[in-house]
A and B are shown apart, each in its own frame.
Chain A
């Protein structure tokens, strides 16, 4: 199980680095990409509450880049 996890980790990082050489969008073409909805459409508080709520109600907590904690509802 842990070996599988390490393989997945290596795959994601390798794929990211491999594709990072494809510089397809120049800086002056990023007008739309700079919009709030295209960068981060949720505030920190909104994301945090959503994560906490899902951790309380669903068995598949995690996978959000930050572990939970502080909820007596394991």
Chain B
């Protein structure tokens, strides 16, 4: 019951006046050739009786054997990526005696910068709770403006020249744009006092430079710069369900996602999670996720010499190859009351996550570890 009250308090944090939550998280990621350390700070604050402000800051400290993200032969590199984001959501009450209970409008933006990649995103979202809050529908749009350059592989002769537009004959650029327009819609519905279901659909249209500036493809005629199509249309449909078993205080979550795009990649992702309340202030969870995709239409194990054979696109990206993988995760969350803390620290949430990823392609297996502290406060 105590855990339930704390959890309920966390849920209503976003609507109670002058409440907030600050979360500090550190993530360690390690795969065969890349290590990432990412400290981050997330905040959510009430702004008046109907507004909520969210914000985040993070640093990605990346050390990799290759700037070309999985290339067979490349120079080691180290770089930092900085990201900040801000969002605001305003809640409106629906008209009395109508099916519309609550309506929310929100907007958010984020900016990310690393030496060879800049990204600016802005998005809007509308959400409505209907039929005595038994159903929620949402619709969102987003726009990303990215810029890629060749800073990561500078030599006294300069970095590799980029072919921003595939219709050009010669690669002579040092910086290329990449634009994304995206849209999503989602809906969820309560099925009973212990169960709910949700569906979502996403679409994103990408225009611009989608290759890696540093990756080269080994052909029978020698190494050639990677060349991906300039356009990509990505779509995904997902469905998920949650069920609470009262007797054992266990939450079961099942999800499935199907993805397809104009590069002929199709992917299936089923996932199951179980979260167990242990005592009154502890939650323990396990998760299993399976992922399987087929290859992009232009992916090949070996390419002929482009000088003698007509080839539109070439790739050495492991993400374009057919592969599958498994993820297993263990998660433990403890509230401050577990340790006898009082006041605001009683509601503090300590969280640890350990993931192991098996991936059957050149990226190989990976380990991810999270440590986080979330502290509620009033102001």
Contacts and interface: CB of A to CB of B under 8 A. Distances in A.
B148 interface: yes
Given A43-B374, A67-B182, A34 B11 contact: yes
Nearest to B361: A57
A16 B137 contact: yes
Interface stretch (B89-97, B125-133, B163-171, B305-313): B125-133
B246 A32 contact: yes
A34 B7 contact: yes
A20 B296 CA distance: 39
Nearest to A21: B131
A69 B119 contact: yes
Contact of A37 (B236, B267, B283): B283
B23 A44 contact: yes
A46 B25 contact: yes
B301 interface: no
A32 B144 contact: no
A46 B285 CA distance: 14
Interface in A17-40: 17, 19-27, 29-39
A19 B240 CA distance: 16
A22 B83 CA distance: 42
Contacts of B298: none
B42 A67 contact: no
Contact of A57 (B146, B178, B275, B366): B366
A7 to B, nearest CB: 10
B117 A71 contact: yes
Interface residues of B, number: 116
A62 B114 contact: no
A36 B11 contact: yes
Interface of A, secondary structure class, is loop
A53 B289 CA distance: 14
B303 to A, nearest CB: 18
Contacts, number: 245
Nearest to B36: A53
B23 A62 contact: no
Contacts of A61: 234
A13 B251 contact: no
A33 to B, nearest CB: 6
Interface in B7-50: 7-8, 10-11, 23, 25, 27, 29, 31, 38, 40, 42, 44
Interface string A58-73: 1111111111011111
A1 B11 CA distance: 39
A13 to B, nearest CB: 6
B344 to A, nearest CB: 18
Most buried by A among B4, B235, B267, B374: B235
21 contacts: A9-B183, A15-B187, A17-B137, A20-B189, A35-B4, A36-B7, A37-B285, A38-B196, A38-B251, A43-B23, A44-B54, A45-B42, A45-B58, A46-B25, A49-B25, A49-B40, A59-B265, A60-B269, A62-B204, A70-B114, A74-B178
Interface of B: 4, 7-8, 10-11, 23, 25, 27, 29, 31, 38, 40, 42, 44, 54, 56, 58, 67, 69, 81, 83, 99, 110, 112-114, 116-121, 123, 130-135, 137-140, 142, 144, 146, 148, 152, 178, 180, 182-187, 189-194, 196, 199-204, 209-213, 228, 233-238, 242, 244, 246, 251, 253, 257, 259, 261-263, 265, 267, 269, 273, 275, 283, 285, 291, 293, 296, 317-320, 325, 351, 353, 357, 359, 363, 366, 368, 370, 372, 374
10 tightest A-B CB contacts, nearest first = A63-B236, A70-B112, A16-B187, A60-B267, A20-B135, A69-B119, A37-B251, A60-B259, A36-B7, A72-B117
